[in-house]
Structure 1
């Protein structure tokens, strides 16, 4: 039983290490409105920047 707990702790620690090392990862949940990455305002900005 203690091996299962130890394995979980090791895997959870490794996962947290990789998430922290990964850079800009947003774990805050669902976004709505202007903050949404798929909102028309963001899409228009991305479309303009790719033409320039």
Structure 2
């Protein structure tokens, strides 16, 4: 879909391409309001732990 779209031909939206965007992304997603992946995640979500 995007490969042949002239609007997006020269745009690279990968987060890791920009050091600034990567740092901002990590800062935002490390906030407590986001669920982090852990080995106990399933148990905590479904067993009310």
- Larger radius of gyration, structure 1 or 2? 1
Higher relative contact order (CA 8 A, sep 6+): 2
Give TM-score, length-normalised by structure 1: 0.35
More helix by share: 1
Give TM-score, length-normalised by structure 2: 0.36
